[in-house]
Amino acid sequence: MRKIILVASGKGGTGKTSLTAAVGTALAGLGKKVLVVDGDCGLRNLDLVLGMSELAVFTFADVARGTVPLSRAAAAHPTTDGLYLLTAPADLPDLTASQMRSLAEQTEQDGYDYVIIDGPAGLPAELSLYAQIATQGIVVTMPDPASIRGAERVARRMEDECIMRIRLVVNRVRPRLVRYGVAANIDDAIDTSGLQLLGIIPEDEDVIACAGSGKSVVSYKKSGAAQAYRNIARRLEGERLPLMRL
């Protein structure tokens, strides 16, 4: 059954876009057909992280309005089979619930196993737009108090929008700082957000290096953040895997 996942965060800079790109790539590597959608209108950069800035022509609004069918609009990744992209429009589109449902229906008709929407940071109007079609959510936070507080706020907003299954990813974790109490620990993030933990991603400079060059860390690395992204993809597929030990 097709899953539509809204990825959100309470504040910017948590690594939400990197997670969307990497988990989408990892799911495609498992043989799934994946559509990643840039939902950050006006500040779109998912195409840059995926190395697809010259390939992403049509937006999700074009498909929702019926301007172009999804089969034509979705840009295929040049090196990762099964991974496709829809970019965001320059401004927040005025779309109806019916138009958003049309977009969702086309993803099912075209055989996508996963649709991952890289939502905007904070609590903007776009969240309500994407919540109309999302079947589950992922909240991305870093292990610092400001990020965790923001994660709690966006989690409650997603619940208010009737997204029933929401899980937490703690990103850019430095195990040594957590152990010495300099950074908030993972239990703090879970308790404050009230969400089930989906994954822990360690701080990894390779994520920044790959994103800057449009390469996927999942395709080029075997350990660190790359392995954490793969594990998240496998958990989304229903596998039970141990979490990173701190």
State the binding site: 11-18
- Between helices 16-29 and 205-213, what is the axis angle to 10°? 80
What sign results for the dihedral spanned by CA atoms 52, 56, 59, 64?
Answer: negative
Query: Which residues does 195 contact at the CB level (< 8 Å), separation at least 6?
Result: 139, 151, 155, 166, 167, 168
Among all chains, which residue has been given the structure tokens 């507080």?
A: 149
Residue whose C-alpha is closest to residue 171's, from 200, 151, 192 = 200
Contact 46, 21 (CB under 8 A): yes
Can you give the C-alpha Rg of the chain in angstroms? 17
Mapping DSSP to helix (H, G, I), strand (E, B) and coil, where does residue 97 land?
Answer: helix
Quick one: residue 60, left, alpha or beta (phi over 0 = left, psi -120 to 50 = alpha)? Answer: alpha
**CA pair distance 13, 51, nearest whole angstrom:** 19
Q: Where are the alpha helices (DSSP H) in the chain?
A: 16-29, 46-49, 60-64, 70-73, 97-109, 126-131, 145-160, 175-179, 186-193, 205-213, 217-220, 225-236
Annotated binding residues for ATP, written as ranges, equal 11-18
